[in-house]
Amino acid sequence: MTDATYPVPHRPTLADLDPGSATTDALIARVRSHRQGEPYPTPEQLLAHLPVVLRALCDVLLAGEITGLDAAYRLASIIDAVDGAIDPPGSPATRH
């Protein structure tokens, strides 16, 4: 008997979100599901990289290369990284 192979489960993307009903909390939840298993940056790492990340976001916004939903997702990722650096997942102060 051979082992049955199962398809890789669908990983939700921004295309699966309805832009009209997307919320910051929903985007942060999506970021957390995508980041699952990855360590959060330390506060020092976060501060060292934050200016670079924000400049890159500003550049793509000014160039019109991303949609509002894409920009909101990237900001949600930054929010999640800051939350994770301050209160790592599982700590009592972390919102769910």
Q: Exposed, middle or buried, 13 (CB in 10 Å: 0-12/13-18/19+)?
A: exposed
Per-residue pLDDT in tens (0 to 9) along the chain, 96 residues = 566 687 777 777 788 888 888 999 999 999 998 888 899 889 999 999 999 999 999 999 999 999 999 999 999 999 999 998 887 666 555 444
Residue 25 within a domain: no
Residue 49 within a domain: yes
Domain assignment of residue 48, given as a range: 42-88
Alpha-carbon gap, residue 19 to 73, rounded angstroms: 11
Residue 17 within a domain: no
Number of structural domains found in the chain? 1
Residue 58 within a domain: yes
Tokens of 39: 């360590």
pTM for this model (two decimals):
0.76
